Amino acid sequence: MYLIPAPKKMILGEKKKLKGCRFVFSGDIDERVKRLCDKLPVGETEIAIEVNEKKSEKYEILFGDTIKINADSSRAAFYAVQTIRQIIKNGYYDVEKIEDEPDFSARGFYYDITRGRVATLDTLKKLVDIMAYYKLNMLQLYVEHVFPFKEYDGIYQKNGYMTPEETMELDEYCKENFVELVPSLSCFGHLYELLQNTSYKRLCEYENFEPRAIYWCERMGHHTIDVSNPESIEVIKSLIDQYSPCFTSDKFNICCDETFDLGNGRNKGKDKGRLYVDFVKQIINHVKSTDKTVMMWGDVITQHPEVISEFDEDVIFMSWRYDADPSPDMINKFRDAKRPQYVCPGVSNWTSLMEKPSVSVPNISKMARYGYEAGAIGLLNTCWGDYGQISPLYACMYGMIFGAEKSWNALREASNFDEAIDMHFYGYNGASSIVKAIDKSQRICYWYNLLVDYSNEKFGNDAMRIGYEPCPDEYNAAFSELEEVIPTLMATRWENDDARRILLLVAEGMEYMIAMIMAKRTGEKMGVNISDIENWLARYKEEYLKESKLSELKEFIVVFYELAQKHLK
């Protein structure tokens, strides 16, 4: 029997079928639990639910002629019913008792809707449905300029944005599913659109900044606000005050990560740690004045550990590392400082057409273990949109769902995870093997490499650098591996056929990226021509607009097509 997350304890029993059920409620049961029960297929098996309201997420399920759920809270009852949903998906149960509770109280997913794709409200609701099914309870959306802030007037309208009404509707939908929607807003670094705006260029750390690379690349590396200008904090306060009322969460993530430019421009020569702390403390004080608990990324402050003690003790730090063998240093610094923290691994989708389980699985596993051992209160799994968020959301689900498993079971090996996700998400036996095969091929097929080439040629310089550049034999091997996967994706039909279709799109896109790189380096076009690219881009656009608003689709199409024309004509 395959369940995600795997329950803490299962006492085995006789194998019995379970195709449907009917619920009997004992006492005052939360209406949200009842509405979830209504989604399950009806059958003769009686399931009684009793909620004890002890406020924990612990529950037990007793299996006999009837099934009894004892839950410590309405939230726990909700998760017990999700387990029943998954058992019905299996079609049987072979246990007498399940005892279950999570290792982390906060188990979340962090999705970038700013740097490439602005997801539609329907897409975000579907995401919440998936999260709830796997017992995740927090969603954060990374936001810079994709909200109608008055400071971004004329900017947010260009590519699509989340309206206040959509945000509040999503907040309500999250609550229906016991998911907390936490506002997350860039408040220090990563303010490219604001600080490139004529009205606010004066607040940029770099005076008279001139781009040396294309839009996506400069936005990733810049811009940091000038902390010495009194106007800066007033602008940040205004952004917070416009955004915060759309949420019922008692938390606010002020981000404040990757302040790359701080102290390198107008504030050159000043103590960077002091500049950072003094400005962030002003932001914190403002957020706290609205009765919100502050969350923030921990990367910058851990470079200045001597000043961690200056922050209020209730500030929640988010420790992140994204490589396959992450260091626990950041986590341990906050542990030693006795500060609350979330550990934040990632699905490793950025700079590629899809996630990288070869990186994300060890990354999430190790970060979960480090966090649990350090007493972290939550795990927030990230899906960033660096360089245009070209990966579809359904091409990032293996890592997201694996994060749900490890945030519930931080120390236990997920031995049957592939079989479970094949059943519950993909609906095709062997789907996870296909995901991993595509990932293996993309080890050398990074969007970033093509983007660097495009950017440097456009600007006539080498402001950006490619790291490792594979040899032609490696590209040929990856192309051949994709050639083996694609026929299976074309010939089969999955229960979740949207996922199959997206993976096919991704695999073909990777072939074309490899062909462009090979054509540039060797002149070999690998059987790919411009008409293939045109057809693929048309399909990519169709799938993109099912998931997202127009966002930055046009920019991606222009870059991809111009690269194809340059290398494949």
Domain extents for the chain?
9-100, 107-414, 434-568
CA angle centred on 177, ends 176 and 180, rounded to 5°: 95
Q: What is the pLDDT of residue 43?
A: 96
| Model confidence pTM above 0.85 | yes
Place of tokens 């590519």: 159
Is residue 56 within 8 A of residue 124, CB to CB? The reply is no
Is residue 29 within 8 A of residue 77, CB to CB? The reply is yes
Q: What is the pLDDT of residue 545?
A: 97
Is residue 416 within 8 A of residue 6, CB to CB? The reply is yes
In sequence order, what are the residues at sequence separation of 6 or more whose Cβ sits closer than 8 angstroms to the Cβ of residue 147?
Answer: 156, 161, 162, 163, 164, 167, 242, 243
Q: Read off the pLDDT of residues 253-294 as tens digits, 9 standing for 90 and up.
A: 999 999 999 999 999 999 999 999 999 999 999 999 999 999
- 50, two tokens: 């009793």
* Beta strands across the sheet bearing 21-26: 9-17, 92-100, 59-63, 67-71, 45-51, 21-26
Helices (H), 319-396: 329-336, 357-374
Sign of CA dihedral 346, 351, 357, 358: negative
Same fold, 9-100 and 107-414: no
Q: What is the pLDDT of residue 514?
A: 93
Helix (H, G, I), strand (E, B) or coil at 457: helix
Which overall architecture, per CATH, does domain 9-100 show? 2-Layer Sandwich (3.30)
Q: What is the pLDDT of residue 462?
A: 81
Q: What is the pLDDT of residue 251?
A: 98
Of 3.40.190.10, 3.20.20.80, 3.40.1080.10, 3.40.1350.10, the CATH number of 107-414 is 3.20.20.80
Distance in angstroms (rounded) separating the CA atoms of residues 224 and 196: 11
Distance in angstroms (rounded) separating the CA atoms of residues 503 and 500: 5
Q: What is the pLDDT of residue 457?
A: 87
Total Cβ atoms within 10 A of residue 126 = 16
Helices (H), 138-263: 164-176, 192-196, 215-221, 230-243
User: Which positions of the chain have pLDDT values less than 50?
Assistant: none
Is residue 499 within 8 A of residue 425, CB to CB? The reply is yes
Q: What is the pLDDT of residue 521?
A: 85
Q: Read off the pLDDT of residues 340-359 as tens digits, 9 standing for 90 and up.
A: 999 999 999 998 999 999 99
Q: What is the pLDDT of residue 525?
A: 86
3-state class percentages of the chain: helix first, strand second, coil last, to nearest 5: 45, 15, 35
Q: What is the pLDDT of residue 220?
A: 86
Distance in angstroms (rounded) separating the CA atoms of residues 314 and 317: 9
